[in-house]
Amino acid sequence: MTISSDLYAEVLHFYADQMQRLDNRDFTGYANTFTKDGEFQHSPTLPAVYTRDGISETLVEFHQQRFAGQQIRRRHWFGHVALTEQEDGSIAATSYCLVLTIRADVKEPEVGPSCVVNDVLVRDEPGNLLMRSRRISHDQLFD
């Protein structure tokens, strides 16, 4: 754990902003947190997609297929963000993610899946964090 506490807080805030964009269905805003050639593997059963356009398109499709016509909100909680500085200067981040789905007028959310999110973070020219890749595994899937 040679990670500075400055970087740690910065990454937590980056995730807060990023995942609120996703849950607000600002898919373009979410895609813009990736590098231009960013990789996003949304689910272990789907192929990875690339580029910001590819990322926002896959999310639009996913929501269309899964939630069209339903009054729901999703909340992707993150926990226990663990960082490792890599030799190329990028930062590997391994975090818990718990997905909540809330249906209109139902107080108790649907809980799950519980996931692990594996990200690689880099910096752009001005020094802001961007995501080079995100791969997600689901805890209920065993090999």
Per CB under 8 A, 92 contacts a second copy: no
Task: Using alpha carbons, list the distances in angstroms from residue 74 to 28, 62, 63, 87, 136.
Answer: 17, 13, 10, 36, 17
Minimal distance in Å, beta carbon 106 to a second copy?
A: 5
Token pair belonging to 90: 């990028």
Q: Are 32 and 8 in contact (CB under 8 A)?
A: no
Q: Residue 67, interface with a second copy (CB under 8 A)?
A: no
Rule CB under 8 A: say whether 142 interacts with a second copy: yes
Binding residue (CB under 8 A) for a second copy from 37, 60, 66, 82 = 82
Question: Which amino acid is present at 22?
Answer: L
Which amino acid, 59?
L
Q: Which is nearer to a second copy, 8 or 67 (CB)?
A: 8
Whole-angstrom Cα distance, residue 87 to residue 89?
5
- Verify binding: residue 29, a second copy, rule CB under 8 A: no
Q: Which residues bind a second copy (CB under 8 A)?
A: 1, 3, 5-10, 12-17, 19-20, 71, 73, 75, 77-83, 94-96, 98, 100, 102-114, 128, 138-142
